[in-house]
Structure 1
Amino acid sequence: MIYPAKTFDFPKVPFVFIRHGETDANKAEIIAGSSEPPLNNAGREQARAIAPLMAMGKWQAVYVSPQDRARKTAELVLPDYELHILDGLRERHWGDLEGRPISEVCSRFDTPPNGEGFDAMCQRVSFAMQTALAEVSDRLTVVVAHSGVGRCILYMTGFDAEGPRIANATPILFRPTAMGWGYENLTEDLIREISA
């Protein structure tokens, strides 16, 4: 699929981002990328653990990567919601680095051999987020995807894409501020605030 050539046109509406639960590749710090490692027992438990918190909210829609680990996380976290699959939310294709240790990545901004560049990934994530956030209402959208998608979102909202990755199965509230964007772990108090 070809994505429109836009310079990270990112909608200025709040949303919740959840990275999928843990896989054995995550635990071993191996690059999974476009491969399909399933959630491990810890990953399934992580997803179940945040389900009560997420059940407190009233969500506009749930958009999810087509990859199994993200879909399964979304099913466990938000079982009563229809999942809208967006191909643009899939994890980065790391080419020859897939299956290798994460420590072999020099910079996330480099294009791996036979893989997808960071800018190309951010273009497709930007397009996917425009789709996911197009219908603005008093309810927030939830996006369930991957570490790389989270890094693109951080980058497109003005934060450091090279910093620590977003933890597995941790809901993060992103919202516009007077200075640009802010993000923080979702809590019961925040759910009450955004649902008021």
Structure 2
Amino acid sequence: MKFWKKISIVSVIAIAVFLFQGTISTSTAQAATYKFTFTGEEANGYFIYDTAAKGETKSPYMTQYYGGGRDYKVDLGDKGLFQGTVSNAIVFLPREEDKVLAKIRAQHDKQYGKDDEHNVLLPADLFLLQVRNFERQPKSSYSLVSYFKYPQETFNGSTRLPTEVPLKAEIEVFPKVDFPKTLGKALVKAAVQTKIEKISD
């Protein structure tokens, strides 16, 4: 099962775009607003999201919440500052049994080729901040993706927006994402401390 022991992070994130070209289900939750905060030597920031956002999914292991995010800030010190008022949240649980993911990854590799520059050991639970190119302020030719990696079963098999997370995570930030071809170069890959707090009902 070498395929699932090591998977390209380019494929992991690019697959999210393919998965949501057509949705087969949506999910909603009671309205509440939360603030996800991360701190570390190389990266600091936050993003705010609403748990009432509609979730779009084509796999039981991934849900993308378009418009679910609000204000965000990703401060990488002298490497860059990214902030705005529109964002999207993704909850992704890479699993060997996800046949939809396997099929779409094979299609991606056939069309664009494999890219093993960035690897993620699986399985894991991922919480992602995504800002599409037309949502960035100012608008850009590239999308911004920051993902936070936690141990498997952190979210207990759920792809709902989390209301609590462990203290420790790994962050990787890609500011020049060209969907669905490549994530580009990562500006930062580092350990951070994370927390979630409820800021309004």
TM-score normalised over the length of structure 1: 0.26
**Which has the larger share of helix?**
1
TM-score normalised over the length of structure 2: 0.26
Greater relative contact order (CA < 8 Å, ≥ 6 in sequence): 1
